[in-house]
Amino acid sequence: MEKFEELKLKAKAEIEKIASMKTINDVKAKFIGKNGEITALLRGMKDIPAEMRAAFGKRVNDLKEEVSAFFAKKETELKAAESADKFKKEAVDITLPAKTLQVGGLHPLNIVKNKIIDAFTGMGFEIFEGPEIDTDYYCFQALNIPKDHPARDMQDTFYINDNVLLRPHTSPGQVRTMENKKPPIKILSPGRVYRADDDASHSPMFHQIEGLVVDKGVSLCDLKGLLDEFVKIIFDKDTKTRFRPSYFPFTEPSVEVDVTCCKCGGKGCNLCKGTGWIEILGAGVVNKKVLEMSGIDSNVYSGLAFGLGIERITMIKYGISDIRTLFENNVAFLQQFNRR
């Protein structure tokens, strides 16, 4: 009986010292586990006289239940203390300003691309996106640029084999449309294009949008009116356009299109190099050979085409001096375009 009382007091004392739920199982094992001190008492039953074994076994079980009750009480106290501590640590001061989450936004190239598409779709253009990997025929030959033509030098791109290449412009989409759709045609073809260029104003991969209109009586005057309206939407209502003669194999006549500088309004500054004008795109009346190769009667229909680089428009619009800035994923730079 003295042994029972001694074990009970010993267990109670150790249980009271337990400071966390992490150590309670170790103390449990010491007293009421499989090899615990109280459990070991039962292994001494063989040394107890037969007539006393029942009473002895009952006393061991009673002791085990008493000690188990001590553990249960301690567990309740520890859980309550841990919960209170957790609530204290996780308490929120509702008077503090709320934490704001960073919100993503569109890349400046996508902002400008969407504005360009909105401008032209508002004038009745449909969108056509062709493949980025195309054949030599659609990229050059169908656009009146046969093999060994010198015009290929400035547009040569990355070849997969002699006949398949990464498109240098989105013009193949215009040819595919003319082959599969009868006039009137009014399409806009946006997408990635590839050329062997890499410096502050050129990238081996960039984004282009080309437009095509084919109908009866289409002329250079229609192109001028169309682009006048476009630049007013993209820049501002006071922006003016200027046509300069140029050469492209797929248009005749061909023009380079300039706009009054969006920074100085045409007075002359560092952006426009003092001229008051900035070149933004190339355009012209579709060459009759291109119409005929696509199965369109050039005696009945005429067309106009234009092509512009989205990076160039973005750089002019936002005063960006190096095209590579648009591809560096500098978060501080990109956040400027998505201010609320």
Percent of the chain's residues with pLDDT above 90:
46
Residues 286 and 196: their CA atoms lie apart, in Å, by 26
User: Is pLDDT of 216 > 80?
Assistant: yes
Average pLDDT over residues 298-323: 92
β 164-166/133-135 pair status: antiparallel
Confidence of residue 154 (pLDDT cuts 50, 70, 90): low
User: Is pLDDT of 150 > 90?
Assistant: no
What's the one-letter identity of residue 293? M
pLDDT tens-digit map of 240-249: 999 999 999 9
pTM here is 0.67
Give me the sign of the Cα torsion angle 310, 316, 321, 326.
Answer: negative
Q: Are 30 and 70 in contact (CB under 8 A)?
A: no
More confident site: 325 or 28: 325
pLDDT for the residue 295: 93
The mean of the pLDDT values for the chain is 87
Confidence of residue 115 (pLDDT cuts 50, 70, 90): very high
- Of the candidates 253, 235, 255, 232, the one whose C-alpha atom is nearest the C-alpha of residue 245 is 255
User: Is pLDDT of 182 > 60?
Assistant: yes
pLDDT for the residue 156: 67
Confidence of residue 95 (pLDDT cuts 50, 70, 90): confident
Q: Are 157 and 197 in contact (CB under 8 A)?
A: no
Average pLDDT over residues 180-208: 89
